[in-house]
Structure 1
Amino acid sequence: MHLSPSPSWPQIVLAVLLASDVLMSVRPLPFIQACLDGVKLPRDWWWVLLVVKTLAIVGLLVGIKHDGIGFSANVGVIVYFVCASIAHIRARFTKQEFWVNCLGFLAVAVAAFVISFAV
């Protein structure tokens, strides 16, 4: 295992997907609202998710040139979506949003980590 992503394209793909999620969450689309309401996240806290995901994007991109930062950011994204999955399960909100959004992002984050750092 190494601390510099090689190849770096999975980190870029993950960053682009997270950026699209952030853009769709600024004024949450109905399926995002359903997801956040489904896990009972107070609306006053929704902005925190935008900040966390934006910081993850920056970490993933900066980490392409600086050893360890992308590794840490990718691990952070994995932890974020594991926690989101737990929140969905605890709230018994395992509808399509859970399977597509939450587990989909978790799968992409794990794949990006494995391809960039573990191979």
Structure 2
Amino acid sequence: MFDVPSPVWPTVVLIVILFGDALMSAVPVQFIRDCMDGVRFPVDDWGWALVYVKLVAVAGLLVGIWQPGVGVAATAGVIAYFVAAAIAHLRARFLNSTFWVNCLGMLAISIGVLVYSYLI
């Protein structure tokens, strides 16, 4: 049912952004550390897991450019990741600009890629 992304450029944009996010999360820059502290995520113990999840998503998005179905599954996974992040922000009542710009911004970009590259 789902083929490769068409057009492919939104997926490439998501790949670049998500890869940059993974790099910044590897040794968390201050705003990422503040975000993790705000939602009470134990970044010192489990921060590595978030980096791996993001890198696996990047790999899935890359493979999905050529393999039917993989890209849409990876995009759905990215959406699920940012939905979970939004829920963590809401539960912690950590609703500053990081939530509105970064978390919801990435969720919107991911949903936009799904709709524009796979559903339209």
TM over 0.5: yes
Alignment partner of 1:100 is 2:101: yes
Hey, what does 1:31 align to over in structure 2? 31
Q: Aligned with 1:67: secondary structure?
A: coil
Number of aligned pairs? 119
Shift of 1:3: 3.0
Amino acid at match of 2:60: G
1:79 CA drift (Å)? 0.6
Partner residue in 1 for 2:80: 79
Q: What do residues 76-105 of structure 1 show as CA deviations (whole Å, max 9, x unaligned)?
A: 000100010000000000111101110010
What secondary structure, in the 3-state scheme, does the structure 1 residue paired with 2:117 have?
A: helix
Q: Distance in 2 between matches of 1:50 and 1:64?
A: 22
TM-score of the two chains, using structure 1 as the length reference: 0.97
Distance 1:87 1:105 in 2: 15
Separation (CA, whole Å) in 1 of partners of 2:29 and 2:6: 34
Structure 1 stretches of 4+ with a deviation exceeding 3 A read none
Q: Which runs of 5+ in 1 are unaligned?
A: none
Which consecutive unaligned segments of at least 5 residues does structure 2 have? Answer: none
Q: CA shift at 1:25, angstroms?
A: 1.2
Shift of 1:71: 0.6
Kindly report the root-mean-square deviation, in angstroms, between the aligned alpha carbons of the 2 structures: 0.9
1:22 counterpart letter in structure 2 = A
d(CA) in 2 for partners of 1:4 and 1:26?
30
